[in-house]
Amino acid sequence: MKVRTWVRDLLLTLLILAVSFAVVVALQRAFDTVAVAPMVFVMAVFLVSRVTNGYVWGIAATLISVLAVNLAFTFPFFQFNFSPPENVFSAVVMLFVAAMTSALTTSLKAQERVRAEVGREKMRANLLRAVSHDLRTPLTSIYGSCSTIMENYDSLSKEQQVKLLGEVCDEAKELSRMVENLLSVTRIDSGEVAVKKTPTVLEELVDTALVKFRKHYPDQHVEVDIPESFIIIPMDPILIEQVLINLLENAVCHAAGMTRLTLRAFTLGDRAIFEVADDGCGIPRERLEGLFSGNLVRAPAEVDGGRHGMGIGLSVCATIIRAHGGDIRAESKPGRGTTIRFSLKMEDAEHEQQ
Amino acid sequence: MSNNKFKILVVEDEANICSFVETLLVTNGYQVLTARTQAMGQSLFLSHTPDLVILDLGLPDGDGLEFIRAVRARSAAPVIVLSARTTEQDKVAALDLGANDYITKPFGTAELTARVRAALRSHHQATGAQPDGKFVAGGLTIDYASRKVLIDNQEIKLTQTEYNIVALLAEHSGRVMTYTSIVQAIWGETDPGSTKKLQVNIANIRKKFGSRPGDNPYILNELGVGYRMIEEDLARK
């Protein structure tokens, strides 16, 4: 990774300098003047400092530019001559531009990083708050049911015991689903590494997600609409599967009055688009805003009605899709239903895998 | 003494998990040995030569992968890996080292016993020669002798390669097979494009089988790892 950025910076620097050199030569041919040479190279130094990392490349470009201008484009030609004060002056100007631009670029990049870090931190904090709240419900039920059985083993009828144990089982499954979501997020947040993408067959992804979804909601029919052709998309399949399951589950848990649930996927240019659409109650506009940021979780419980905090699943989805360099959006009309759509890039298939 | 029972070694450091797995297996008629560390597991393995090992990957005294290596150096007894990790790389690494199957925690009891059955059965089959006779699972029938595949008594026309893949998965039914192991068995070598070649073949097989996403009853996906043919109908054997 380090070596790659180094090579990239070197190539960019050489390219920009070469182009500048060519431009000056061309101008010299056309107008028989070298007066523009310092200006063109100042521009080159500026560009190099802007597009590369750190100070090194800008300074290097400055030195090369000063030499080039002095040697090739300043009288006396093809001799070093620093005696005319304007030559020294243009060298100083270029150095100054390089230093300032590099400093500016570096601080800009640092600022972007800080902003991204703050955003991630905030999202994580929201998630954590939501999760610790949501973990408590199933835990309370599991703990309560188990201790009820243990303490009243002889007085409880067999049916009562089986009923309580069944609840323990259900709640434990619920817990494990939540933990799965958390695991997904830690998988992304461990370091700044982007997700590890492997070429994944669209049909296999959709199939796996549906099989898992059906395990939890055997009665919910899902209409599936995906292309007939063989499509491979680079992704972390476990994470995207998690996104699809979350979106389907969200519809089941929150789209009151839903009669149709659709999972659609298609390609559009260099992107694969996935859509989960329901025709349920919809999401009010004021809640649509914070849908993917985890802010929703703290919304008053009575609005929600359901037992699950809705924000967790969706903010996990957003985290996953963004880590893939994709985009996720929600469209909703109260009373008409909600469509959540995300896109993934298709082209960066990297090296073919393993 | 009822020593015709299969002997299963469970290597797991979490006492609670160990306890319920033991109870479950004993109830299902297996003889169970338990070990809490890798060292203890290895010594029990040597002294008792179990028929199957259930192994947790995250043991306190070393990586479970080392244990698989040690077992494979001496024996072909099936190894089922219990993994709390969700990354496919760990699963693939364990499978490629010689583990026969894996289960991700948390798992249901039915899932565990099904995997144990499948692993024991295919181990005892694999010691025989070429499979002959028939494979029946749900609506799918494979006639090994005539190389015919039927779904609901309708013959399905498969290419040579497609048949070979289906037969291979059926021979290891109930168990996951990694992309690499299938590719090696079918084409004999792996190159960068071979996983894709396999995936295309599987897609074609599914189409011929009439499978739809979400309704894909015979060849199951293990995303990022490989494929699994459903278990053979038990009633037949």
Per residue in A238-292, pLDDT tens?
889 989 998 998 898 888 888 999 999 999 988 999 999 999 888 888 777 777 7
pLDDT at B9: 95
Q: How far is the C-alpha of A83 from the C-alpha of A300, rounded, in Å?
A: 77
Residue type, A5: T
Cα dist. A14→A47, A48, A263, B172, B187 in Å? 12, 9, 49, 57, 46
pLDDT at A112: 80
Q: Does any CB of chain B come closer than 8 Å to the CB of residue A351?
A: yes
**Residues of chain B found within 8 Å of residue A208, distances taken between Cβ atoms:** 221, 223
The domain boundary residue, chosen from A114, A135, A167:
A114
Q: Does any CB of chain B come closer than 8 Å to the CB of residue A232?
A: yes
Of B86, B88, B221, the CB nearest to A207: B221
- Locate the chain B residue with the closest alpha carbon to A183: B86
Which of A103 and A266 is assigned the larger pLDDT?
A266
**Residues of chain B found within 8 Å of residue A248, distances taken between Cβ atoms:** none
Q: Based on the fold, state whether residues A343 and A204 are members of the same structural domain.
A: yes
pLDDT at B214: 84
pLDDT at A311: 53
Nearest CA-CA distance, residue B180 and chain A, Å? 9
Q: What are the φ and ψ backbone dihedral angles of A308, each rounded to 5 degrees?
A: -105, 140
Q: Based on the fold, state whether residues A73 and A215 are members of the same structural domain.
A: no
Query: What percentage of chain A reaches a pLDDT higher than 90?
Result: 21
Spans of all domains in chain B: 7-126, 134-236
Q: Does domain B134-236 have CATH number 3.90.1300.10?
A: no
Task: Check if the beta carbon of residue A195 is closer than 8 Å to that of residue A236.
Answer: yes
Interval B64-85: pLDDT, tens: 888 899 899 888 899 999 886 5
Contact residues of B toward A, CB < 8 A: 86-88, 106, 179-180, 192-193, 195-196, 199-200, 202-203, 206, 212-214, 216, 220-221, 223-224
Residue A190 has pLDDT above 70, yes or no: no
pLDDT at B10: 95
Query: What percentage of chain A reaches a pLDDT higher than 70?
Result: 83
Of A207, A230, A238, the CB nearest to B213: A207
pLDDT at A354: 36
Domain assignment present for residue A325? The answer is: yes
Contact B223 A241 (CB under 8 A): yes
pLDDT at A83: 62
Task: Check if the beta carbon of residue B118 is closer than 8 Å to that of residue B170.
Answer: no
Band (A198; pLDDT cuts 50, 70, 90): confident
Q: What are the φ and ψ backbone dihedral angles of A159, each rounded to 5 degrees?
A: -60, -45
Band (A182; pLDDT cuts 50, 70, 90): confident
User: Any idea which architecture B7-126 has in CATH?
Assistant: 3-Layer(aba) Sandwich (3.40)
- Locate the chain A residue with the closest alpha carbon to B220: A208
The domain boundary residue, chosen from A114, A131, A160:
A114
Q: Which H or E run includes A15?
A: helix A2-31
The domain boundary residue, chosen from A70, A88, A114:
A114
Query: What percentage of chain B reaches a pLDDT higher than 70?
Result: 91
Q: What tokens were used for B56?
A: 């947790």
Band (A34; pLDDT cuts 50, 70, 90): low
Q: How far is the C-alpha of B124 from the C-alpha of B117, rounded, in Å?
A: 11
Contact B223 A172 (CB under 8 A): no
Interval B139-194: pLDDT, tens: 899 998 899 999 999 999 999 999 999 999 998 888 889 998 999 999 987 777 88
Average pLDDT over residues A192-216: 85
Domain carrying residue A7: 2-114
Q: Does any CB of chain B come closer than 8 Å to the CB of residue A61?
A: no
Q: Based on the fold, state whether residues A235 and A333 are members of the same structural domain.
A: yes
Hey, do B7-126 and B134-236 end up sharing a CATH topology, with the first three levels equal?
no
* Length reported for chain B: 237
Which of A126 and B205 is assigned the larger pLDDT?
B205
Band (A107; pLDDT cuts 50, 70, 90): confident
**B215: which strand partners?**
B212
Of A198, A203, A210, the CB nearest to B224: A198
Interface predicted TM-score (ipTM): 0.80
Residue A189 has pLDDT above 80, yes or no: no
Interval A58-88: pLDDT, tens: 888 888 887 777 777 766 666 666 666 766 7
Q: How far out from the chain centre does Cα B144 lie? A: 20
Which of A310 and A127 is assigned the larger pLDDT?
A127
Average pLDDT over residues A36-41: 80
Contact A200 B213 (CB under 8 A): no
Q: Tokens 């278990």 sit at which residue? A: B231
pLDDT at B52: 94
pLDDT at A232: 92
Domain assignment present for residue A278? The answer is: yes
Q: Based on the fold, state whether residues A233 and A87 are members of the same structural domain.
A: no
* 0.90 surpassed by pTM: no
Residue B229 has pLDDT above 80, yes or no: yes
CATH of the domain at A252: 3.30.565.10
Q: How many domains does chain A have?
A: 2
pLDDT at B237: 45
